[in-house]
Structure 1
Amino acid sequence: MPRSLSRRRLLATGTALGAAAVLAPSGPRTPRAHAAGGWPTTLPLPDGFQPEGIAIGPGPYAYFGSLADGSVYRAELATGRGRLITGSLGTGRRSIGLKTDARGRLFVAGGPGTLRVIDTRSGAVLATYAAGDGQNFVNDVLLTRGAACFTDSFRPQLYVLPLGRHGELPGPDGVRTLPLTGEWVQGPDFTANGIEYTPDRTALLVVNSFAGALFRIDPRTGDARRVPHTGPPLVNGDGLLLLERDLYVVQQAQNAVDVLRLNRSGTRGRAVARITDPRFQVPTTAAACGDRVYLPNARFDVNPPLPTTTYTAVAVARV
């Protein structure tokens, strides 16, 4: 999600998550296998769309958010065809990190001081929440059984949107703040980016683009500890995707995805692969379906983006 490329610079009292059981997964199930040979590996996105985030499921459908106007596009993975499920949400609105749940809701990190929840069937905005003072940047999101957790790229804190026993959304003042402490290092620009679980689901992982490192976050206290790993530093670390014990770290400006194999507690990792592809055009985030990983090409090297700028998402094989 947004980092400190020149164009991105222009984008413009806490309660902890509680017990470790809260971190059990709550997202939708996606197909474990499919007729991959017949499915397209490059998906066209609307011209001028400026994609950033991706979420997949329920079913073989991908959702993409726009940095241009906050709109959301849905693509059918089996055919590559798609449509906008929302119109423009307005100038200055953004849809960045995305996650869907089994109830057909899309949780959206909205950039400056905003997060929202959208109905994937109708495209209706179910709720909008203020998070921060508008000078911050809500960047990515992870769903747990009892909450949606959002990173803030400009502030050393997470935002927690608690959900009811049956997934009910809270009222307009429901967002809580979890300050990051311990070894966390906050930079002057984009810092916290992608967020994921540890493999044992007892803690959170957040990539710190300023420190070029991965941090393990205690969900009860916000205590952050650096995760040592082999391989290149994560200075361009953006979206995170955990598949079993393999953590896919999208290194956007490097046009690469570094794969770290973590121990179960997520306290250390080792580099096992680097994925590159000639179709990469500054990929930002990743989501999986079956034996594939899908990434939107944000094309941040195109400055300024135009209404005629073309965009795609591409699929690569899982490690």
Structure 2
Amino acid sequence: MADGSVYRADLRSGRGEIFSPGPGTPALGLKTDRHGRLFVAGGTGGDVRVLDTRTGRTLASYRVTTGPAFVNDVILTEDAAWFTDSTNPVLYKLPLHAGRLPEAAVRIPLTGALTYGEGFNANGITATPDGRGFLVVQSNTGGLFRVEESGVTHRVDLHGESLLDGDGLLLRGRTLFAVQNRSNTVAVVRLNAAGTEGRVVRRVTDPRFDVPATVAEFGSRLYLPNARFRFTTPPTPPTPDMRYDAVAIPIPTG
């Protein structure tokens, strides 16, 4: 988040290195595609970037807004990359015709049930189980929304539950894993096929969690990087208790 650099690590040992130095503005949500490209949400930089996963070289950069922004997370579909903005009620779309990168991003206004307020709004994004829309969590309210490609939003019925502090989302079949960062929790949500209704069947925590911000899956484990937002001063590498880590946990069942 500090300067947009991207670090590549070995999941077994944690050893790694920065393979793509940042431009001085943030790098947040990350997704790779089968063409060896990494799509990067640019946070307060108001941009999205596409990197070569082999060389770290920037293949393309898109300025998606000129005002205040927090371009937060990204999901890839067969024909586009979609980005959330926690400050502005829009999705940014990069059309990928036959896999080719576009000249410019498309701005899709969000309408319907999802309304923005103070703080962080739309954050994590993933597909619905039927693959026909998206699920987006609103951090400051705990709401979960189904979002159509048109930008129309519908509140997901969670039967009185909340995903407050919701951050990264991961869909596995009809099970949604929703990271609640400051709560140091992963909520396990069972969804219907359309992603219009869900029930929180359990919540998982771990003493090693220190404000986990997102989640990825590999093998039989979930991997969660600790963002450590509790710090109010910039971390310094020589200080052991201010170093960063990721936590691996077994994929929850329930």
TM-score (structure 1 length as normaliser): 0.75
8 Å CA contact 1:154–1:191 kept in 2: the answer is yes
Query: Is 1:246 aligned with 2:179?
Result: no
Q: Please point out which of 68, 73, 85 is paired with 1:140.
A: 73
Q: Distance in 2 between matches of 1:70 and 1:197?
A: 26
The match for 1:127 is 60
Query: Which whole-Å deviations, capped at 9, do the CAs of 1:230-250 have from their partners, x for residues lacking one?
Result: 464112101111011111110
Query: Which whole-Å deviations, capped at 9, do the CAs of 1:118-173 have from their partners, x for residues lacking one?
Result: 111111111110111241111100000000000011111100000121x11112xx
- Relative distance call for 1:307 and 1:255 in structure 2 (3 A) is same
The match for 2:112 is 182
Shift in Å, 1:86: 1.5
Query: Which whole-Å deviations, capped at 9, do the CAs of 1:48-105 have from their partners, x for residues lacking one?
Result: xxxxxxxxxxxxxxxxxxx111000001213322111022422xx1100010111111
Q: Please point out which of 82, 95, 113 is paired with 2:16.
A: 82
Q: Distance in 2 between matches of 1:310 and 1:230?
A: 39
Query: Is 1:94 aligned with 2:23?
Result: no
Q: Please point out which of 195, 203, 218 is paired with 1:274.
A: 203
The match for 2:88 is 155
In structure 1, give the amino acid aligned to 2:180.
Answer: Q
The match for 1:233 is 162
SS of 1:293 mapped into structure 2: strand
The match for 1:314 is 247
In structure 2, give the amino acid aligned to 1:68.
Answer: A
The structure showing larger relative contact order (alpha-carbon pairs under 8 Å, at least 6 residues apart) is: 1
Give runs of aligned pairs for residues 28-107 of structure 1, distance below 5 A: 67-90=1-24, 93-107=25-39
Give runs of aligned pairs for residues 279-294 of structure 1, distance below 5 A: 279-294=208-223
Q: Distance in 1 between matches of 2:250 and 2:95?
A: 35
Shift in Å, 1:188: 2.3
Shift in Å, 1:211: 2.6
Unaligned runs of 5+ in 2: none
Q: Distance in 2 between matches of 1:205 and 1:78?
A: 31
In structure 2, give the amino acid aligned to 1:110.
Answer: G
8 Å CA contact 1:231–1:270 kept in 2: the answer is no
Q: Distance in 2 between matches of 1:231 and 1:280?
A: 26
Q: Distance in 1 between matches of 2:214 and 2:160?
A: 20
Query: Which contiguous aligned blocks of 4+ residues in structure 1 show a shift greater than 3 angstroms?
Result: none
In structure 2, give the amino acid aligned to 1:195.
Answer: I
The match for 1:7 is none
The match for 1:195 is 125
SS of 2:245 mapped into structure 1: strand
Q: Distance in 2 between matches of 1:306 and 1:120?
A: 27
Identical pairs, percent: 53
Query: Which whole-Å deviations, capped at 9, do the CAs of 1:257-304 have from their partners, x for residues lacking one?
Result: 101010111010011121100000000000000110000000011111
- Relative distance call for 1:290 and 1:231 in structure 2 (3 A) is farther
TM-score (structure 2 length as normaliser): 0.94
Unaligned runs of 5+ in 1: 1-66
Q: Distance in 2 between matches of 1:272 and 1:231?
A: 13
